Amino acid sequence: MRGALVGCGYVSQFHLRAWQRVPDVHIEALCDLDARRAGERGAEFAIPRTYSDVARMLDEVQPHFLDVATRPESHLGIVREGAARGIHVLCQKPIAPSLAELQEMMRVTQRASVRLGVNENWRWRPWHREMRRLAAKGLIGRPCFLRFTVRPETPLASDALLRQPYFAEMPRLIIYELGVHLIDTARSYLGDVASVFARIQHTSAALVGEDVAVILLESADQALGLLDLNWASVSPGRDHRREGHPFRIEGEQGALELGPGATIQFTQEGEPTRVLSYELPEDPYLDSYRACQARFIECLHTGEPFSTGARETYNTMATVFAAYESAESGQRIEVPATPSL
The CATH number that applies at residue 142 is: 3.30.360.10
Question: Which pLDDT value is given to residue 162?
Answer: 61
Tell me if 299 is assigned to some domain: no
Please provide the DSSP assignment of 85-123 as one string.
TT-EEEEESS--SSHHHHHHHHHHHHHHT--EEEE--GG
Interstrand relation of 264-267 and 116-119 (parallel, antiparallel or unpaired): unpaired
Same domain flag for 59 and 111: yes
Q: Which residues of the chain have pLDDT under 50?
A: none
Which of 86, 119, 152 terminates a domain? The answer is 119
For residues 138 and 235, state if they share a domain: yes
Residue 309 lies in a domain: no
What are 177-197's pLDDT values in tens digits?
999 999 999 999 999 999 999
Nearest residue to 175 via CA among 224, 214, 222, 133: 214
Give the model's pLDDT for residue 137: 97
How long is the chain? 341
Check whether residue 149 and residue 221 sit in a common domain. Answer: yes
pLDDT digits (tens, 9 = 90+) for 45-82: 999 999 999 999 999 999 999 999 999 999 999 999 99
**Looking at beta carbons, which pairs linking 157-163 to residues 24 or more positions away fall under 8 Å?**
157/204, 157/206, 157/207, 160/231, 161/206, 163/10
Answer yes or no: is 103 within a domain.
yes
The pairs formed by 28-32 with CB atoms below 8 angstroms and a separation of 24 or more are 28/2, 28/3, 28/4, 28/61, 28/63, 29/4, 29/5, 29/57, 29/60, 29/61, 29/63, 30/4, 30/5, 30/6, 31/4, 31/5, 31/6, 31/7, 31/57, 32/6, 32/7, 32/8
Asked whether residue 104 is domain-assigned, the answer is yes
Q: Give the domain-ending residue among 119, 150, 169.
A: 119
> Residue 302 domain-assigned?
no
Q: What is the rounded distance in angstroms from the CA atom of residue 113 to the CA atom of residue 330? A: 41
Report the candidate in 7, 80, 91 with the shortest Cα–Cα distance to residue 293. 91
Q: How far apart (Å, rounded) are the C-alpha atoms in residues 110 and 90?
A: 14
The reply to whether 155 and 64 lie within a common domain is no
| Whole-angstrom Cα Rg for the chain | 20
Instruction: Assess whether 108 and 35 both reside in one domain.
Output: yes
Model pLDDT, residue 155: 65
Is pTM beyond 0.75? Reply is yes
329 and 207 assigned to the same domain: yes
For the domain that residue 94 is a member of, what is the CATH number?
Answer: 3.40.50.720
Domain of 212? 123-281+315-334
Same domain assignment for residues 99 and 131: no
Domain-embedded: residue 42? yes
Residues 169 and 31 in one domain: no
Closest C-alpha among 294, 307, 304 to residue 3 = 294
Domain shared by 78 and 142, yes or no: no
- Whether the CB-CB separation of 29 and 54 falls below 8 Å is answered with no
d(CA 262, CA 306): 26
Please check whether residues 127 and 69 belong to one and the same domain.
Answer: no
**Is the domain of 48 the same as that of 127?**
no
- Structural domain tally of the chain? 2
Do residues 183 and 324 share a domain? yes
